[in-house]
Structure 1
Amino acid sequence: MRFHVVADDTDRDGGYVVARLTQLGYRPEWLDRDELPVFTDLGESALVLLLGSERGAHEPRWQASVEAEEALVRAALRAGTPVMGICFGAQVLARALGGTSYRGDDPEVGFKRVDTVDPVLCPEGPWAQFHRDVMVPPQQARVLGSSWFGPQCFTDESLGTPAIAWQFHPEVTPQTYARWVDEDADTVRLSGADPSLLRRHALLSAGRAEASAHQLVDAALAYLRVRRPSPQT
């Protein structure tokens, strides 16, 4: 049973989340967010997963690709295919359903706990954070978690099919987080964090982070009512 993963063509790293979905028997089908087809029917796709990006969903230069991704989200939900969004993907999901996103005053970087009203779909963490943009869930959404920076998780069923979004990064591995720290030194500097400590924390947290991500994926699949693959799939 396949699922669609929307990502930047240069960064197809679904980390612990894609690994868990694959472990459960789902097969990823990757989509470049700059070349999204127009979907009217996702067929047997079990799920659409929107990964993060170094882009900002609010930035005018990405307007065309963001609008195409928003259209994909709405088409999927109307066709009965649930959607899961992470970081940039969460911002796109929010915008597709009537919310928005914007550039925050300061970055949110490091491994942070979140305030939660649903410890199953939004455990308090700590979770990896690495972003400068704030998602604003649509008015009808249920916000499940937040931090000093802004909303961290929401669910929405306004189009008849459930969707879930996390601003934090349950998927990120130590290797990927270290790469982000190295490649985006400006964001790290603005956050006031120590790059070496960020890399070390990511490495030391790997076992807990992987287990937490797997538990979160399982909980999200149950909430989204995603059909599990049969042993023959």
Structure 2
Amino acid sequence: MRIHVVADEADKDGGHFHERLLLVGAELIELDRDDLPAYGAIGDTDLIFLLGSDKAAHEPKWKDAVEAESQLVRSALRAGTPVMGICYGAQLMARALGGTSWRADAPELGWQRVDTTDPILCPEGPWGQMHKDVFAPGQTSKVIGTSWRGPQCIIDEAHGARAIAWQFHPEVTATTYERWVLEGYYGDAGVDTKELIRQAHANAASSRNRAHALVDSALTYLRVGT
């Protein structure tokens, strides 16, 4: 099982998701989202996996990188290769498939439960949240998870292969979340950083278990490794 992981050069941490994928026998091949090859140049692959980013898919300065990644998503799906995304990856996927994204009024932070219509592909959590943007999916995508800020999970089966993406961070470890908090990924929101870090460590063990189960459910849905 070969999985190409699209990530920022400075942050390639797939956390619990990478851990589980390696445990089930996946080979993970990294792709720098700022220097992406065309789909036809990456060789054999079973899945394209879009990680998060501190970029914003709606910002004009990232236009070329967003378009290159969007083309990769569309080309992969048309070729029968499924796509999976997290946070920025969900916003990117939404835009690639006819939707949009924009800056929220305030960031969504901490460990939060989500409302779901599919507890297998989008369990209620709680899940780690750290994002400043929200998205609206395209017409072919189905929202199966929401919070009061917007969509939290979408699936899509209309482009040749299946796709799934989560706005929250099912992959994040307590150590990585703490680093994000201390580095101020959420911006100047006047939040209680100690409380966010406390939540991350309090949920560490349960988050790992939920993430591993979610990887298994996603792979089954995407028909990868089955």
Q: Quickly name the TM-score band, shorter chain normalised.
A: over 0.9
Residue in 2 that maps onto 1:114? 114
The alpha-carbon deviation at position 142 of structure 1 amounts to: 1.0
The alpha-carbon deviation at position 139 of structure 1 amounts to: 1.4
CA distance in 1, matches of 2:43, 2:66: 23
Residue in 2 that maps onto 1:148? 148
Letter in 1 for 2:57: A
- 2:91 matches 1:91: yes
Residue in 2 that maps onto 1:131? 131
Residue in 1 that maps onto 2:221? 223
CA distance in 2, matches of 1:185, 1:37: 27
Is the CA contact 2:131–2:186 (under 8 Å) kept in the aligned structure 1? no
Letter in 2 for 1:163: A
The total of aligned residue pairs comes to 226
After superposition, give the CA deviation of every residue in 1:173-212 in whole Å (9 maximum; x if it has no partner).
011100110111763x52x531111111111211100000
Residue in 1 that maps onto 2:103? 103
Is the CA contact 1:42–1:76 (under 8 Å) kept in the aligned structure 2? no
Residue in 2 that maps onto 1:206? 204
CA distance in 2, matches of 1:17, 1:186: 22
**Residues 208/186 of structure 1: CA separation in 2 closer, same or farther (3 Å cut):** closer
**Match runs of 1:69-84 below 5 Å:** 69-84=69-84
Is the CA contact 2:107–2:186 (under 8 Å) kept in the aligned structure 1? no
CA distance in 2, matches of 1:45, 1:175: 30
Is the CA contact 1:41–1:76 (under 8 Å) kept in the aligned structure 2? no
SS in 1 for 2:39: coil
SS in 1 for 2:58: coil
The alpha-carbon deviation at position 40 of structure 1 amounts to: 2.4
- 2:181 matches 1:172: no
**Match runs of 1:155-194 below 5 Å:** 155-184=155-184, 187=187, 189-190=188-189, 192-194=190-192
SS in 2 for 1:159: coil
CA distance in 2, matches of 1:196, 1:2: 39
SS in 1 for 2:217: helix
**Residues 217/186 of structure 1: CA separation in 2 closer, same or farther (3 Å cut):** closer
CA distance in 1, matches of 2:172, 2:66: 22
**Residues 139/13 of structure 1: CA separation in 2 closer, same or farther (3 Å cut):** same
The alpha-carbon deviation at position 168 of structure 1 amounts to: 0.2
SS in 2 for 1:40: helix
Is the CA contact 2:117–2:145 (under 8 Å) kept in the aligned structure 1? yes
Residue in 1 that maps onto 2:64? 64
**What is the TM-score with the length of structure 1 in the denominator?**
0.94
CA distance in 1, matches of 2:200, 2:191: 13
CA distance in 2, matches of 1:57, 1:121: 24
CA distance in 1, matches of 2:176, 2:154: 25
Is the CA contact 1:110–1:193 (under 8 Å) kept in the aligned structure 2? no
Give unmatched runs, 5+ long, in structure 2: none
Letter in 1 for 2:119: P
The alpha-carbon deviation at position 18 of structure 1 amounts to: 1.1
**What is the TM-score with the length of structure 2 in the denominator?**
0.97
